[in-house]
Amino acid sequence: MVDMPTENWGAVGRDLLRDELARQRCALEDAFGGAESALDTTRSTESLDADDVRALRRSLNRARYAVEEHAARVTPGVEPYGEPVPDLPYGVYRTIAEQ
């Protein structure tokens, strides 16, 4: 194992967090861009479909997870909000719980 000074590990952590936040930003831009394209009435009569909404939710949930589990935990004076938003709609959870 390589013995690195503590300040180097801090730089590694910041780089990893920056990269993760950049990935999440790109994913959000892609999901919202896809939804915008589906609603662009100048090019088609299409509308959003279930896959578009799922992609939006998935991107939002993953971005929130990155903020709460990574950024908020290492930022002084900030604490995570708590449990992230679930990946399934609440109605699906209720249906599963009732079985």
Residue 16 lies in a domain: no
Region of 82 on the Ramachandran plot (φ > 0 left; ψ -120 to 50 alpha; else beta): left
Rg of the chain on CA atoms, in Å = 19
pLDDT for the residue numbered 84: 62
Residue 93 lies in a domain: yes
Domain holding 39, by residue range, is 29-98
pLDDT for the residue numbered 67: 92
* Domain tally, the chain: 1
Q: What is the pLDDT of residues 50-82, one digit of tens each?
A: 888 889 999 998 999 999 889 998 999 998 887
Is residue 83's pLDDT more than 80?
no
Residue 6 lies in a domain: no
Residue 19 lies in a domain: no
More confident site: 87 or 8: 8
Q: For helices 50-65 and 6-39, what crossing angle results, to 10°?
A: 160
Residue 74 lies in a domain: yes
Average pLDDT over residues 17-41: 92
Residue 4 lies in a domain: no
pLDDT for the residue numbered 47: 82
Residue 11 lies in a domain: no
pLDDT for the residue numbered 81: 87
pLDDT-derived band at 92, boundaries 50, 70, 90: confident
